Structure 1
Amino acid sequence: MDKDKVREECGVFGVKINTDEAAGLTYNALSALQHRGQEGAGIAVLKGSAILYHKNVGLVSEVFTQSVLGKMPGAEFAIGHVRYSTTGTNTKENTQPILTEYLRGRIATAHNGNIVNAAEIKSRLKSYGCDFAATNDSEVISSLIAYEALNTDSIEQAVINAVNQLRGSFSLVILSSKNKLIAVRDGFGFRPLCLGKNKHGWAVASESCALDCAGFEFVRDVLPGEMIAIDRNGNLESSMVIESDRKSFCIFEYIYFARSDSIIDNLSVYEARFNMGIQLAKEDPVEADIVCGVPDSGLEAAMGYAYQSGIPCVPGFTKNRYIGRSFIFPSQTQRDMAVRLKLNPLKANIEGKRVVLVDDSIVRGTTSAKIIKMMKSVGAKEVHMRVSSPPFRHSCHFGTDIDDEEKLVANQMSIADITKHIGADSLQYISIEGVESACSKSSLPFCTACFSGEYPMDIGHHTKRQFE
């Protein structure tokens, strides 16, 4: 696994429509959310009182072939998930949705986030006789909801009882055999979740781009602490079920995770990244001939930098879009060439030029070093690196897979030493204040703990790796 990149989150989707196309619409939505996780995918549908599902490791298009989708019966309810494993190994059992049966019914659950007290809850549920087949925190959530459902006739109340025991980040979609689709966003609002509607019904999704691709009009974001329940007749009920005095949205969603055509908490992701580039040019101007963004996540910030600085923005690389996520490099020499197989510098634009190179982050610095070396190998006169996130210094306990703190280059070297390490002529990161300013139109304040170390909740003795 390439640990020189911050890894994607998971993506969730749920739909209730009055046609029988729920599975197909979920497939379309998961394809639009593929950037949030490429390790596994799954869809669960409700047929009568039975929840049927298919899931496996792989991309959406690999897991759901035409023949597989053809075997999924017409249904009005469905939920889906794309996975990147922040907790638990990458196995079929850990792929979501998680199906849980209990005496009064069954539920399927899909989760984006990270539960910091999952180990304690799992231990308690085991003492009650609950069995676990997977090793992720999503199964803990599903089992907790099912356990709470034993004590109430209302699946909504069971969800409320369960989520108020969770500490950490979660955007959940839950499919109940009692003909209910339920969505919940944690009280801090760490992870995105939004609501869409069309003439046939309702949908909830991690990002608005998934609503677009499934044919739903974006209605609004699900509020932090809000639960939405949709019944078999398409009636929607909203209620605030989690109290939290503090809101704290993960700012790295705007920097990198989310797709640029999504709107999250009233802010366009594209606009946020463009503004980051503007802010970088204000904070760290440099004399140069061209601005280039590292595909794909650095492109919008590069445009913003060019707009503010007046330096033309040109393509710096050709991207090979046919290198698979599991491409195998048999030798070290081939592994060293992996970056060039994905990105090849455009000599016609770069040769003899002073380049401002814009990327979203630096984790270990090895990829940045390879990219800069490539640019200089085709004749770049100077390469000045500008980064649209502040330096990573701390672990994330809320679902973002950042490398161990001792392996983060910002904790090992000064900026001057990192500059030498990656071979740049200069290096500057955006400030924490600058990235917050770039995202100021967001309706929520931010979690910047991976940069500042100031966590929005007390994480106690929990460590990032405790549940993996």
Structure 2
Amino acid sequence: MFGIWGHEKAAEITYYALHALQHRGQDGAGIVTYENEEWMLHKDVGLLNDVFSRGQLERLSGRHAIGQIHYVHGANVGYDNVQPHLFQSQKDSLAIVHSGNITNAYELRGELERSGSIFQTESDTELLAHLIRRQGAHIDAHAIQTALENIVGAYAFLLMTQDCMYVALDPYGIRPLSIGKLHGAYVAASESCAFDLIGAEKMFEVQPGELIRIADDGIHRKTIQRVKKQQLCAMEYVYFSRPDSDLQYVNVHAARKRMGIQLAKEASVCADVVTGVPDSSISAAIGYAEASNLPYEIGLIKNRYVGRTFIKPSQELREQGVKMKLSPVKGIVAGKRVVMVDDSIVRGTTSKKIVTMLKEAGAAQVHVRIASPAVTNPCFYGIDMSTKQELFAANYTLEEMCDIIGADSLAYLSPEGLEKAIVATTNDSSKGICNACFTGNYPVAKESKMLQAKTAE
């Protein structure tokens, strides 16, 4: 997500900022602007460049804008679910973008429908608009706060009205969100790398439970819900975020490198060379190599024109993407005992194909090292891992997994090692990570019947 308030080139800046966030989703993109009592919206399925390839950007005038890169998870497929969502009325209109997942969405939707609401999409995001409207005709901080108090789950919201932009983060801070400044304008983004691309200065990270109002008279911050400890999604460090981003004021590359160093301490192996799976595993592979006194080499080459396979919406597309995306470097791996460092194993298909490619390229041995713990539990907070049936480590032992992917050995980073690599460096007891997909310890109460049912599967 990205938003900007108070810049003559709001749409153009939003477009470039979303480029920096393209890694977070490849299923759709959109931008909405407001000027002179007129809302202008363009969105579609596909990559950002494809969505804005025919001059649509020039038609989005105005000094205020919000936009999003769409990542499909659950049922949020198709044009109608691409954000931003725009809700227009005779008095106050509203545009919304959202990152995360509302775990009590099923109950809220049923309640709202029984009271007369008619939904246009399957997206959780639309729920907030209906909850706000239920507070009355006028959209203000009080109406938004009351609406948010009904929501359970992981969320980061950007909301834009005719006269201000609101920024909201769930009480646990599961999804990342930061505020910055670009000359006289204020900006908000899911990752700080978006600020770097547009030349904005990062001011602060939105705190869990904060509701922030940004208008021409400045920034107004209010804590509306609070918990003792932030639970930022561990997968943001492991996979999702760019290495040049900072989360909880911790650089992602540095955190991943520490994961690799810790992994080498926990799971060393006799080998000749270390390689990482491009791109999110490179930092951990470098750390593993340094800690093991082994050379780090580029043993796998990535086709830069193929997207991220983990976030593709179907298994068939993920498998095809792996074939197109990676190629082994025979001159590096042939005859060598290779340590292949990857960030995670979710479904197992990618790992099996990479090990096969390396051995077909002549690798004498392939030892797989995963720079995160085993993913054994579904995620209900915005990552497409919704049932245990699809999770590799939830259905096989370590020995079985090693045999299935064809590796000579397989080892994961421990949950304690992951937390040490990420959190221990902050020296802040209020900062923590959500590691529910690794441990089953969900920070948000399982209040949704759907969540309870899926967890039991």
* TM-score band w.r.t. shorter chain: over 0.9
- Using a 3 Å threshold, how does the CA distance of structure 1 residues 160 and 460 change in structure 2: closer, same or farther? closer
Q: 1:367 maps to which residue?
A: 350
Structure 1 residue 428 corresponds to structure 2 residue 417: no
**Residue among 247, 250, 262 paired with 1:267:** 250
**Residue among 94, 105, 109 paired with 1:122:** 109
Query: What is the Cα deviation at residue 464 of structure 1?
Result: 5.1
* 1:454 aligned partner, one-letter code: N
Q: 2:4 maps to which residue?
A: 15
**Residue among 39, 59, 74 paired with 2:27:** 39
* 2:20 aligned partner, one-letter code: A
Q: 1:299 maps to which residue?
A: 282
Unmatched tracts of structure 1, length 5 or more: 1-11, 327-331
Unmatched tracts of structure 2, length 5 or more: 310-314
Q: 1:346 maps to which residue?
A: 329
Number of residue equivalences: 445
Listed one character per residue, the Cα deviations across residues 111-140 of structure 1 (whole Å, up to 9, x for unaligned) are: 001001112222222233222110110111
Secondary structure, counterpart of 1:93 in structure 2: helix
- Using a 3 Å threshold, how does the CA distance of structure 1 residues 90 and 227 change in structure 2: closer, same or farther? same
Query: What is the Cα deviation at residue 449 of structure 1?
Result: 0.8
User: 2:133 touches 2:139 (CA, 8 Å); kept in 1?
Assistant: no
**Residue among 196, 202, 207 paired with 2:180:** 196
Secondary structure, counterpart of 1:148 in structure 2: coil
**Residue among 204, 215, 221 paired with 2:199:** 215
Secondary structure, counterpart of 1:260 in structure 2: coil
Matched-pair identity in % = 39
Query: What is the Cα deviation at residue 367 of structure 1?
Result: 1.4
**Residue among 187, 206, 225 paired with 2:171:** 187
**Residue among 388, 413, 422 paired with 1:405:** 388
Listed one character per residue, the Cα deviations across residues 308-366 of structure 1 (whole Å, up to 9, x for unaligned) are: 1110100011211223679xxxxx99997652321110001111111110001112222
Whole-angstrom CA distance in 1 between matches of 2:141 and 2:319: 52
**Residue among 247, 260, 275 paired with 1:277:** 260
Whole-angstrom CA distance in 2 between matches of 1:457 and 1:228: 22
User: 1:14 touches 1:173 (CA, 8 Å); kept in 2?
Assistant: yes
Q: How does 1:417-456 map to 2 (within 5 A)?
A: 417-440=400-423, 441-442=425-426, 444-456=431-443
Deviates more, 1:309-318 or 1:209-218: 209-218
Listed one character per residue, the Cα deviations across residues 128-175 of structure 1 (whole Å, up to 9, x for unaligned) are: 32221101101111222233242xx45111111111111001000000
Query: What is the Cα deviation at residue 106 of structure 1?
Result: 0.5
Q: How does 1:226-241 map to 2 (within 5 A)?
A: 226-231=210-215, 233-241=216-224
Deviates more, 1:443-452 or 1:263-272: 443-452
Query: What is the Cα deviation at residue 66 of structure 1?
Result: 4.7
User: 1:99 touches 1:142 (CA, 8 Å); kept in 2?
Assistant: no
* 1:449 aligned partner, one-letter code: A
Query: What is the Cα deviation at residue 415 of structure 1?
Result: 0.7
Give the root-mean-square deviation of aligned CA atoms.
2.1
User: 1:319 touches 1:342 (CA, 8 Å); kept in 2?
Assistant: yes
Whole-angstrom CA distance in 2 between matches of 1:300 and 1:135: 37
User: 1:256 touches 1:360 (CA, 8 Å); kept in 2?
Assistant: yes
Q: TM-score, normalised by structure 1?
A: 0.91
Secondary structure, counterpart of 1:28 in structure 2: helix
Structure 1 residue 378 corresponds to structure 2 residue 373: no
Q: TM-score, normalised by structure 2?
A: 0.93
- Using a 3 Å threshold, how does the CA distance of structure 1 residues 325 and 392 change in structure 2: closer, same or farther? closer
Q: 1:96 maps to which residue?
A: 83
Listed one character per residue, the Cα deviations across residues 6-59 of structure 1 (whole Å, up to 9, x for unaligned) are: xxxxxx111012x32000000011111111111011111111233221111111
Listed one character per residue, the Cα deviations across residues 363-401 of structure 1 (whole Å, up to 9, x for unaligned) are: 222211111111111111111100011111111111111
Query: What is the Cα deviation at residue 104 of structure 1?
Result: 2.6
* 1:217 aligned partner, one-letter code: E
Whole-angstrom CA distance in 2 between matches of 1:244 and 1:101: 34
Whole-angstrom CA distance in 2 between matches of 1:252 and 1:141: 25
Whole-angstrom CA distance in 2 between matches of 1:149 and 1:61: 39
Whole-angstrom CA distance in 1 between matches of 2:446 and 2:37: 39
User: 2:379 touches 2:386 (CA, 8 Å); kept in 1?
Assistant: no
Listed one character per residue, the Cα deviations across residues 174-212 of structure 1 (whole Å, up to 9, x for unaligned) are: 0002x1011011110000000101222110100000111
**Residue among 138, 144, 157 paired with 1:159:** 144
Whole-angstrom CA distance in 2 between matches of 1:305 and 1:126: 53
* 1:208 aligned partner, one-letter code: S
Whole-angstrom CA distance in 1 between matches of 2:135 and 2:393: 44
User: 1:102 touches 1:147 (CA, 8 Å); kept in 2?
Assistant: no
- Using a 3 Å threshold, how does the CA distance of structure 1 residues 156 and 427 change in structure 2: closer, same or farther? same
Q: 1:4 maps to which residue?
A: none
